[in-house]
Structures are given as C-alpha cells and as structure tokens.
Amino acid sequence: MNIYSFVSPIAETNTYCLIHNDECLMIDAVRSDELHTFLLENGIKKITVLLTHGHYDHVLGILDLRNEFELMVVSSEKGPELLGNTRKNLSAVANLIGSFRGSNNHIEPFTVEAQFFLKDREVFHWNGYELQVRYTPGHSPDSVCYFLGEKYLFAGDTIFQNEYPMLRFPGGDKDTYYNYTKPIIDSWDGNLLVYPGHGGAFKLSASIVRKELDE
Ligand SMILES: [Zn+2]
C-alpha cells in the first residue's frame, strides 16, 4: 500500500492519497499544483474525499477539483456546520491568517458541500480498504480521525508530534479536547503511525499529547 502525501503552499496543510485503478481516496483536499498533476498523471477520474474537519486550508482543493473530476465529499455529521459557514470554516479570515504566516495567497470566502456523512465509529469501505472514523472534537466541533486498518491514523489537526493542537479558533474547545478527546487518544496503541494535517508522520507514542501519560 502506498500513501502519497502532498503539502499545500497554503498553511502547509497535508493531503494524503490512496489510489486504485482510476480512483483516488483523498484525506482532506488541499490546494496544490503537485496534487493536481499527480491525479492527471495517474489517470484518476473519480475522487472520494474524507474530511478530517472543515477548516478552509483542508478543503480548498475541493473548489479546484470538483469541476474536473467526479468528486464525492465525505464528512462527519457535524461537517456541514463548518463547511457551509465562511466564519466557521475560517475562509473569511484566511487572508489574515495567511498574513501572520507571511503568505500573500489571496483566498475569497467560500463554502463547500459534503454528500455523505459519517457517524462516530462508522466504517467507510473503499476498494478493499476500511477506514473507521472517530470523533475527536476540540480543535473544531467537527474534527475526526480516521483509522486505516489498525496501523495508520489520519489525524487532521487533532494530534501533532511536537505541539498541542490550536484550540482557540471559533468552535474550538479546550475542555472538550482535554476531557473528551485526549482520553480517547490516550487509549490508542502507541505504535500507530500518525499522518497529521501539518508536518510529517510519526508514531503516536512520540506525540507531545501522549508524553504526559507515558512518562
Ligand atoms: Zn484546522
């Protein structure tokens, strides 16, 4: 199995792809020329996007891809609350956030729609792969992680290696993260390979979120 990764110049956000014949399973959809070239070079016709949450940098690629490919967007049941709201998906303040990071990419406020919604613990089947969704709110109310089999975890902005997630965006909630989500993360196997929304992959046991417990 190959997990291909692409980093967007906007907020250095990751998209991860699996491919099977002319289909692509995408975890988040970033804006990236490299991703677009990869899809064309592999003859991809149909894309299924599983969203870790609705923040603009993780979904901006949907605007680029939806007219060119057969696209199905899948989110948690709480996804539409962010996807359909320019303030909650942060697209209304994307240029301000970008300017703090020294970026001059211009982004107009936008909304996107999902077509399919997952409940906590629901398993999504795609070409022989099984992805289980787990609700992990805190960074945003719609944040989820996806297990790919038992060894891999797509964690969005919920788990990073060296820093705690940002919990102060609109809809973010520190108490929810520490009281609800962190105990769930603490219960997971430390050998899981985590693919985060920003930065490279790491073993869950190496995350700062787990270190308090492990040490
Ligand atoms: Zn986010």
13: left (phi over 0), alpha (psi -120 to 50) or beta: beta
- Report CA(123)–ligand 1 centroid distance (Å): 23
- Report CA(43)–ligand 1 centroid distance (Å): 30
Question: How is residue 192 annotated by DSSP?
Answer: P
- Report CA(39)–ligand 1 centroid distance (Å): 24
Q: How far apart are CA 16 and CA 28, in angstroms?
A: 7
Instruction: Give the CA distances from residue 123 to residues 50, 59, 149, in Å, rounded to whole numbers and listed in that order.
Output: 12, 21, 10
Q: Where are the domains of the chain?
A: 4-214
- The DSSP bridge partners found for residue 194 are 153, 202
- Report CA(118)–ligand 1 centroid distance (Å): 19
Contact 116, 74 (CB under 8 A): yes
CA nearest neighbour of 14 among 43, 52, 70: 52
* CATH fold label, 4-214: Metallo-beta-lactamase; Chain A (3.60.15)
List, in order, residues 6 or more apart from 42 with CB less than 8 Å away.
19, 22, 24
- Report CA(85)–ligand 1 centroid distance (Å): 14
- Report CA(21)–ligand 1 centroid distance (Å): 31
pLDDT in tens, the chain (215 residues): 899 999 998 889 999 999 999 999 999 999 999 999 999 999 999 999 999 999 999 999 999 999 999 999 999 999 999 999 999 999 999 988 888 777 778 899 999 999 999 999 999 999 999 999 999 999 999 999 999 999 999 999 999 999 999 999 999 999 999 999 999 999 999 999 999 999 999 999 999 998 865 44
Global pTM value? 0.95
What the block records as the tokens of 26 is 């995408």
